[in-house]
Structure 1
Amino acid sequence: MNLTVFGATGGVGGEIVRQALSAGHRVTAVVRDPARLEVTGARLEVFRADLTDPEALRPAVAGRDAVLSALGSRNRKADGVTARMTRTILAAMEAEGVRRLLVVSAAPVGPEPEGDGLLDRTARRIVSAALKDVYDDLREMEAELARSSTDWTAVRPPRLQNKPLTGAYRTVVGGTPVKGRFLARTDVAHAMLAMADDPGTVKQGVGVAY
């Protein structure tokens, strides 16, 4: 596949690029600072751009089979940054007629899993309150996806960890895995790449967790 990755210098984005190249895909990594991109490869194109101008992004998405975004706020005061950046990507994709988009969201944005115990429900609500601005930003991002003409998927992991790839995780299309408390960034990337050509995840939020 011919893929474009946004947020390629982050933990999940860098893993998407690394795993995609290892699987034989062609990858365009969109970055603001190419010096921060730690991945190299013969099938890698580095595209330098900020995410304020859809016209500037059109060459980065034109003709791609799928676009994967690991963009997100780096602080608790998100100020709508993820929704704004995603809106720019959507405009560029729609201008080029590129349909497939997968983004990283978060488990608390999805529905509460049926069967979770009191401990998990309480922890979820505490985290949701502490990171309210971040999750509000992600909800607005998902609303932008729903209003778009793209074939989108919002991947919703719980708390992220820096651990090796396992490939052993649970996914719930339209829901949230019960007692899904953690997921490695490597496995988030693995799940997104696996969903890129999965029609069953189109226009869906997908909970992913161990």
Structure 2
Amino acid sequence: MRLTVFGATGGIGREIVRQALAAGHEVTAVVRNPARLTFDGPGPEVFRSDLADPEALRAAVAGRDAVLSGLGARSRADAGVAARLTRSVRAAMHAEGVRRLLVVSAAPLGPVPADQGVLDRALLALVNAALKDVYADLRVMEDELAAGDTDWTAVRPPRLTDGPLSGRYRSVVGGTPGRGRSLARADVAHAMLAMIGDPATVRQGVGVAY
């Protein structure tokens, strides 16, 4: 497949690029600073952009089978970046007739599992309070995706770690895995790549966790 990856210098985006290349896909990585994107061995095609101008992004998405985005706030100070930049990506995709889009969201945006324990509910409440601006940004992003015409999937992991790729995790279309407290960025990337061709995940939020 021909894939374009936004946020390719971030932890999840870099893993998407690495795993996609290893699987034999043709990958274009859209970055602000190409110097931050280094690989041992052959790397992706690099497209430099500040992401603010949809017209400038059209060449990066034209003719692609899917677009995957690891864009999002790295701190509360960055809140707003996910919705704003995803808006530019969607506009470029619409102009080029590209429909498949997978984005990283977060577990707190999904429904609370029925078997969620008291401790997990308390921890979730604390996290929601601490990162309310970040989650509000992601909520806007997801609401705009739902109102648009792309074949989107919002992948919702819990706390992210830098653990190794395992390929062993739970996923719930339209829901949240019970007692799922963490997931490695490498496994988030693995899940996103696996969902590209899965029609059950189209226009859905998908909870993923160990």
Length-normalised TM-score, structure 2 = 0.98
Find out whether 1:34 has 2:40 as its counterpart.
no
**SS of 1:30's equivalent?**
strand
Whole-angstrom CA distance in 2 between matches of 1:47 and 1:41 = 18
The aligned counterpart of 1:154 is: 154
The aligned counterpart of 2:204 is: 204
Change (3 A) 1:79 1:43: closer
Q: Which amino acid aligns with 1:136?
A: A
**SS of 1:128's equivalent?**
helix
Q: Which amino acid aligns with 1:86?
A: T
Q: Structure 1, unaligned stretches of length 5 or more? A: none
Whole-angstrom CA distance in 1 between matches of 2:175 and 2:79 = 26
Whole-angstrom CA distance in 1 between matches of 2:26 and 2:41 = 9
- Contact 1:78–1:137, Cα closer than 8 Å, also in 2: no
Whole-angstrom CA distance in 1 between matches of 2:29 and 2:40 = 10
Report the RMSD for the aligned CA atoms in angstroms: 1.0
Change (3 A) 1:51 1:40: farther
1:38 deviates by 1.9
The aligned counterpart of 1:56 is: 56
**SS of 2:76's equivalent?**
coil
1:81 deviates by 1.4
- Contact 2:71–2:81, Cα closer than 8 Å, also in 1: no
Q: Which amino acid aligns with 1:142?
A: E
- Contact 2:3–2:64, Cα closer than 8 Å, also in 1: yes
Q: Which amino acid aligns with 2:59?
A: P
Change (3 A) 1:198 1:41: farther
Whole-angstrom CA distance in 1 between matches of 2:162 and 2:23 = 21
The aligned counterpart of 1:117 is: 117
- Contact 1:5–1:28, Cα closer than 8 Å, also in 2: yes
Length-normalised TM-score, structure 1 = 0.98
1:147 deviates by 1.5
The aligned counterpart of 1:76 is: 76
Whole-angstrom CA distance in 2 between matches of 1:197 and 1:42 = 25
Whole-angstrom CA distance in 2 between matches of 1:151 and 1:177 = 23
Q: Structure 2, unaligned stretches of length 5 or more? A: none
The aligned counterpart of 1:86 is: 86
